[in-house]
């Protein structure tokens, strides 16, 4: 009985860690793509760099919020395991 409970807790913690890691990887990939695309767009149209940079920062902030939300959900899952 105790080993089954400890196994359930371990699986929940492992799932939370994998979820937080995937959220961080996804945010890194997303921000990398945004940055690369913005640099390419600014190189093509330097006169529009202000608008491009503003849009890039807004989208990067939204990606970070999604990653933070996923990390919080992963922490909630790990803390709400039955003891």
Ordered domains of the chain (ranges, CATH): 2-78 (1.20.20.10)
- Surface-to-core class of residue 26, CB atoms within 10 Å of its CB (0-12 exposed, 13-18 middle, 19+ buried): middle
Q: What is the pLDDT of residues 25-78, one digit of tens each?
A: 999 999 999 999 999 999 999 999 999 999 999 999 999 999 999 888 888 887
Residue with tokens 């890039």: 56
User: Is pLDDT at 6 greater than 70 in this prediction?
Assistant: no
- What is the model's pLDDT at position 44? 94
In the prediction, which pLDDT does 11 show? 80
pLDDT for the residue numbered 63: 93
């Amino acid at each position: 009985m105790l080993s089954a409970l400890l196994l359930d807790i371990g699986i929940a913690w492992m799932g939370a860690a994998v979820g937080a890691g995937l959220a961080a990887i996804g945010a890194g990939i997303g921000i990398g793509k945004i940055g690369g695309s913005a640099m390419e767009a600014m190189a093509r149209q330097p006169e529009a760099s202000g608008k491009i940079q503003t849009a890039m920062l807004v989208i990067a902030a939204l990606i970070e919020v999604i990653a933070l939300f996923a990390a919080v959900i992963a922490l909630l899952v790990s803390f709400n395991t039955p003891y």
